[in-house]
């Protein structure tokens, strides 16, 4: 009887194993990697076909956006910007900058140029030139991306950071870093509504610095 019981256990175990599929560790790792969240690839895939056309279409001259914002920030936001419906997200504005650099900070990683767009020799906007870029203005200006499409807040934050990484790698790293004051600059980008008395902090999606 004991022999028969043992034989039955072995038979059941063997039968159960026969219905199982063993996956090698390397194969499992490949499957996990294939389904892994890759924000850099997401941004690169939408950049030329969606992001740039959207920003170019929505952008208005900075002076026009600033004037509207000074009168009614919410009305200006609806016309020149975007904010998510969820929570208390601030307006993010989309604008074109065309002016002269009146100051520069290129020694820090969060480098920038201050630009005069109305000819009074005073800065109207601060344009980030990297490599470190603060905030997620480019992501937050897009009406075709949605927080709810992401698994969690971490993925959403990584997605926002990927825009800055892409801009720096494809655009900002190529910019000159010396003697920028006095040169012209043309840029299209986005910035969050600044605090009263503060310059808008524009993250460029396109930028050209002239002579």
Q: Is the peptide bond before 90 cis (omega within 30 degrees of 0)?
A: no
| Distance (Å, whole) CA 154 – CA 190 | 22
| Distance (Å, whole) CA 169 – CA 167 | 6
Q: What domains does the chain contain, in order, with CATH numbers?
A: 52-209 (2.40.50.140)
For 6, phi then psi, to 5°, come to -65, -45
Q: What angle do CA 187, 146, 68 make, to 5 degrees?
A: 45
pLDDT at position 89 is 80
What is the CB-side half-sphere exposure of residue 93 using CA atoms within 13 A?
Answer: 29
pLDDT at position 111 is 98
Residues in the chain, pLDDT under 70: 1-35, 86-87
CA distances from 56 to 80, 100, 209 (A): 12, 21, 18
pLDDT at position 21 is 46
| Distance (Å, whole) CA 30 – CA 19 | 23
pLDDT tens, position by position, 107-152: 999 999 999 999 999 999 999 999 999 999 999 999 999 999 999 9
| Distance (Å, whole) CA 112 – CA 132 | 10
pLDDT at position 183 is 98
């Amino acid at each position: 009887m004991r022999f028969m019981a043992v034989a039955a256990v072995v038979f059941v175990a063997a039968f159960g194993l026969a219905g199982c599929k063993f996956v090698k560790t390397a194969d499992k790792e490949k499957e996990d990697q294939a389904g892994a969240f890759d924000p850099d690839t997401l941004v690169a895939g939408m950049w030329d076909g969606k992001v740039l056309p959207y920003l170019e279409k929505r952008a208005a001259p900075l002076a026009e956006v600033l004037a509207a914002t000074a009168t009614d920030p919410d009305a200006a936001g609806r016309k020149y910007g975007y904010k998510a419906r969820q929570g208390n997200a601030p307006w993010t504005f989309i604008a074109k900058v065309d002016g002269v650099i009146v100051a520069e900070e290129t020694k820090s990683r969060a480098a920038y140029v201050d630009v005069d767009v109305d000819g009074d020799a005073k800065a109207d906007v601060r344009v980030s030139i990297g490599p470190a870029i603060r905030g997620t203005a480019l992501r937050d200006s897009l009406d075709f991306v949605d927080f709810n499409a992401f698994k969690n807040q971490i993925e959403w934050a990584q997605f926002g950071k990927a825009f800055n990484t892409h801009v720096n790698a494809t655009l900002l790293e190529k910019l000159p870093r010396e003697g920028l004051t006095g040169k012209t600059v043309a840029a299209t980008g986005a910035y969050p509504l600044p605090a009263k008395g503060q310059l808008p902090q524009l993250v460029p999606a396109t930028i050209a610095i002239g002579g």
